[in-house]
Amino acid sequence: MGVQGLDVFLDDHRRIYRDIEFRMSQLVVDGSNLIPLLYYNSGLDQTHGGEYAAFEALIERFIAALTTCEVTPYVVLDGGSDLIHKKLEIVTKRAEDQIKKAHQAAVEGRKKNILPPLAKQVFKQTLAQLKVPMAQCYGDADREIAALASEWNCPVLSGDSDFYIFDLPAGLLPFCYFQWKNVKEDGSQSFITCKTYHISRFSTVFKIQQQLLPTFAVLGGNDYVNLQRIRWTQFAPSESKTPSHLEGLLCWLKGFQQPQEALEAALVLMEELSKNSKTELLQNLSVGMEEYQLPSSSLKGFFHNGVTPEVVGPIHQVPDRIRLQLMQARLTPDVLDVLLLKRMSLSITVGHKNQPSVNLTSRPLRQVMYGLLLGEQRPVPVEERDREELKLTFILVKPIFSRVAQELKLSSLHEAKLSERLQVLLEALGVTEATLNDLPPQLRLPVAVTCYWLRRAQPPPDLKLAKALLLGMSNEDALRARADLQAEHPNGKPNLDVAHAFSQWQVCLKDSIQLNQLLGFPLPEPDVARLYQGTLVHQLVPRLTTGGRVKAFLGSGQSSVKQYHAMLSIIQQFHAREESTPSETRQRAAARRHPLNDLTANEEDSSAVRVHEELVNQVSVRTRYRTKERRNRSNNPELVRKEECQGQDFL
């Protein structure tokens, strides 16, 4: 986010910074900015769906470095989308760009900075385990971060260029110069070398009034105003070899003392605009500048005593307990988007444009969540923002109300019986409580999700993919196993079909975790960092396909082998029951759960019709194949015996 191109521009003007040795301080951390920066800068794989154990270890090292230097971090995360659509255009444009990059990453097998779907969940869980103070705002967190840092007189750590505009008494520590991996010592004290930035230094270096920085931000193009009508490069110094629009704008601003006169002068430069258009633009520019005026901090009380801030406007309609859980980051900000905007922005995962969106698989789970959030009395559709090929699409989806869910109210959801909340979750996943009882509590949700995925994913996943997932979950030292397999087979381009299937599993897990959170955790929340290691499970698939032995993969621990067999037994039994379902019934079930039936406003949409036809055709082909397979198996008892023993043979 932030002011477009400002960080690159300032990289050529490093005299604006001051070198410091950072230690013994509070630090307000821009968490939503830190997550992608940590992941992308680490060299972790991005094309196989995520390296979550390695990401968890990276977060732990980051916090350990701060602790060593006696720095106390307070992590602040973004919340839901803005309610008055100030950033809607820029957010939509970024989503469209991400869709194109995700396709390129799949085709080329190269990193394009697509964040794996469960990375944010791993980040939150890791901070919670480390007992790092963390707050999740109701909306964009930038102003709240700046306000808290201002009141505490401590710096902000971020890579967001908006913080170059805020007046921060203790300054900004740009993440790109924060050398946390190389902690140094001075006697008995440790410190992190970094650079600090203050707006006073900006004002001195570029010779403009300090109060003009918000004007500079909105005229230069930030997330709230994208002003492209003026060619600012015409005002750049004549000796500049490669003038940028920001350099030209700064030169132009030297002639002004106050923001209002600069704004009015900028409108004069846009002669083609009508008077009404100029009035509207001036209002938008003024609103954009107000975003840099700091309110009193609403987070200070939450960090000190856990009290949620007073709210006004639409957020006041959200039940108190839901607001508290949102602030504690125990609920996803998507909850606010559904409640207040009737909108849901879905995960963008690495995948080929010709493959359907992986989010179609988990839509029934989200529909249950929509029903719980909106209530039976408000059966309004939710607009899901997803992709179709390389386009951003908007599809209206109906909430689902099960018999038990109809009795539950959002405001008193936490008071409902555990058995009722568990029933809602398990019915959505299509498994029974008895099926999961023999598993350790932490594995019950992942195994239930795997059953759901086997039934819902299209095309139908091969059972070997499920075995690879279970092996990955069972390994006690995922980082060692990942390193061993990478040494044998360095990472290459992922198999697109395998990647598509695993991405479907991940979004099913993500949406199941969100539903489980909303229901008050009727099943224990799994440790996500233990569940999926992208390159590892991808490399296990060809081993399983060729009949390779993988006993060494699980190590010598009997607990890992026992855990794997327990999960595999459940999956195989579930898979066998699915395969024994009469073909006509299965085709009707596939048609009922089809995305077309979820639409409310555009049921004639041609893209949805195509998806519907594809799913029915795939189920039909699968049915014919399975019928032939059962016939062959009945004629070959030895083949049946070998397949039933295969799970034990390769161990």
pLDDT tens-digit series, residues 410-438: 989 989 999 999 999 999 999 999 999 99
Domain boundary among 149, 179, 204: 204
At residue 623, does pLDDT exceed 70? Answer: no
**Confidence (pLDDT) at 642:** 42
Which is more confidently placed, 166 or 597?
A: 166
How far apart (Å, rounded) are the C-alpha atoms in residues 364 and 362? 6
User: Which CATH number characterizes residue 172's domain?
Assistant: 3.40.50.1010
Residue 344 lies in a domain: no
Q: Give the residue with greater pLDDT, 333 vs 310.
A: 333
Q: What is the dihedral of CA 136, 138, 139, 143, to 10 degrees?
A: -70
Considering the domain boundaries, does residue 214 fall inside one?
Answer: no
Rounded to the nearest 10°, the torsion over CA 352, 353, 355, 359 is: 100
Q: Which residues contact 371 (CB under 8 A, 6 or more apart)?
A: 399, 400, 401, 402, 405
Based on the structure, what is the number of domains in the chain? 2
DSSP symbols for 84-123? T-TTHHHHHHHHHHHHHHHHHHHHH--------TTHHHHH
pLDDT of 491 reads: 61
Q: Is residue 284 part of a domain?
A: no
**From CA 36, how far away is CA 544, in angstroms rounded?**
33
29 CB burial (10 A radius; 0-12, 13-18, 19+): buried
Residue 609 or 234, more confident: 234
Query: What is the model's pLDDT at position 543?
Result: 84
Q: Is residue 314 part of a domain?
A: no
Residue 332 inside a domain? The answer is no
Q: Please report the pLDDT score of residue 182 as a whole number.
A: 96
Residue 596 has pLDDT above 50, yes or no: no
pLDDT at 343 over 70: yes
pLDDT of residue 486: 63
Residue 27 lies in a domain: yes
Query: Pick from 191, 245, 192, 189: which is nearest to 219 by CA?
Result: 245
Q: Is residue 462 part of a domain?
A: yes
Measured CA to CA, the distance from residue 482 to residue 440 in angstroms comes to 24
36-67 burial code (b ≥16 CB/10 A, e <16): bbbbeebebbbbbbbbbbbbbbbbeebbebbe
Last residue of a domain, one of 156, 171, 204: 204
Residue 58 structural domain = 6-204
Query: Can you say whether the dihedral through the CA atoms of 503, 51, 563, 121 is positive or negative?
Result: negative
Q: What per-residue confidence (pLDDT) applies to 6?
A: 92
pTM for the predicted model, two decimal places: 0.88
Report the alpha-carbon distance of residue 112 to residue 474 in Å, rounded. Answer: 30
3-state class of 10 per DSSP? helix
Q: How confident is the model at residue 630 (pLDDT cuts 50, 70, 90)?
A: very low
pLDDT at 3: 85
Rg of the chain, C-alpha, whole Å: 27
Of 127 and 635, the one with more pLDDT: 127
When pLDDT is cut at 50, 70 and 90, the band that residue 91 belongs to is confident
Question: In the prediction, which pLDDT does 64 show?
Answer: 98
* 366-395 mean pLDDT: 91
**DSSP 8-state secondary structure symbol assigned to residue 230:** S
Residue 588: the pLDDT is 41
Domain assignment present for 451: yes
- The answer to whether the peptide bond before residue 459 is cis (omega within 30 degrees of 0) is yes
**CB 358, CB 347: distance < 8 Å:** yes
User: At which of 157, 174, 204 does a domain end?
Assistant: 204
**CA distance linking residue 308 with residue 301, whole number of Å:** 7
Rounded CA-CA distance 510/603 in Å is 27
The sign of the dihedral angle between the CA atoms of 408, 414, 416, 421 is positive
Which one, of 266, 265, 259, lies nearest residue 286 by Cα? 259
